[in-house]
């Protein structure tokens, strides 16, 4: 049985994890018989967004770990305490939280930094040859950490260009497909970077999960 770390970034696509992508990932892993441990940084979100209006909420602060626990049904740990040796693979769902809370890509673009706990976990997993799955906008984190990696965010030229500025090789990809860099052992899919609906997003994520588990052995 593969043990997989799923790194969340809050709860809600505008300021945290994309809920559909996260749940599809967890469901696909469970159906495949994998053991899952959800992780998230224990720190304030970069911002809080009203998901009805799409506007930032002034004066409100939320904790990334506490918000991610909503998706994980409370079964979650601080990513800073996680060790790559305890897992066979790592998967990062998307949502703006990946670009705001797990990294600063939403604000700083190609000059972004990655949360220290997330960076350590991914570097250690990569160094040990363990597969990493990145969904939606989360490939920006892989581009920052692993120059030369092949990956996809779908077909958006501006975002693809930003990833290539960080040294990644972007591959255009349909929503129901994925890109696998066999050498780097990084698997990516566009999900809601393309949409258009949950069934389309699910098709790509389920294939990504299958490929990550194949690589994990």
Number of Cβ within a 10 Å radius of residue 177: 17
Q: Which residue, 107, 144, 101, is CA-closest to 122?
A: 144
Pairing of strands 186-189, 179-181: antiparallel
- pLDDT score, position 135: 99
Across the chain, mean pLDDT equals 98
What is the chain's length? Answer: 217
CATH number at residue 68: 3.40.50.880
Q: Which residue, 56, 66, 76, 55, is CA-closest to 7?
A: 76
Question: SS in 3 state form for 148-203?
Answer: CCEECCCCCHHHHHHHHHCCCEECCCCCCCCEEECCCCEEEECHHHCCCCHHHHHH
- pLDDT score, position 121: 98
Is the separation of the CB atoms in 215 and 209 below 8 Å?
no
Number of domains in the chain: 1
Number of Cβ within a 10 Å radius of residue 69: 18
Q: Indicate which residues carry an active-site annotation.
A: 136
Is the separation of the CB atoms in 112 and 159 below 8 Å?
no
Look up the domain containing 70 and give its range: 3-216
Number of Cβ within a 10 Å radius of residue 60: 11
- pLDDT score, position 102: 98
**Weakly modelled stretches of the chain, pLDDT under 50:** none
- pLDDT score, position 118: 98
- Six-digit token pair at 24? 């599809």
- pLDDT score, position 8: 99
- pLDDT score, position 146: 98
């Amino acid at each position: 049985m593969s043990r997989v770390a799923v790194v969340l970034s809050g709860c809600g696509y505008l300021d945290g994890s994309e809920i559909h992508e996260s749940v599809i990932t967890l469901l696909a892993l469970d159906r495949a018989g994998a053991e899952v441990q959800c992780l998230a940084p224990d720190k304030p979100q970069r911002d809080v967004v009203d998901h009805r209006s799409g506007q930032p909420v002034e004066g409100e602060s939320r904790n990334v770990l506490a918000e991610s626990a909503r998706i994980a049904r409370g079964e979650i740990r601080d990513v800073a305490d996680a060790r790559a040796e305890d897992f066979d693979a790592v998967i990062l769902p998307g949502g703006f939280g990946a670009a705001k809370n797990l990294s600063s890509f939403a604000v700083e673009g190609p000059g972004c930094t990655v949360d220290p706990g997330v960076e350590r976990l991914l570097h250690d997993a990569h160094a040990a040859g363990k597969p990493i799955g990145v969904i939606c906008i989360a490939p920006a984190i892989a581009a920052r950490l692993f120059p030369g990696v092949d990956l996809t965010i779908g077909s958006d030229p501006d975002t693809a260009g930003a990833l290539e500025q960080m040294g990644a090789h972007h591959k255009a990809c349909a929503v129901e497909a994925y890109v696998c860099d066999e050498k780097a052992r990084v698997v990516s899919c566009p999900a809601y970077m393309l949409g258009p609906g949950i069934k389309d997003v699910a098709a790509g994520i389920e294939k990504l999960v299958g490929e990550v588990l194949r690589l994990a052995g």
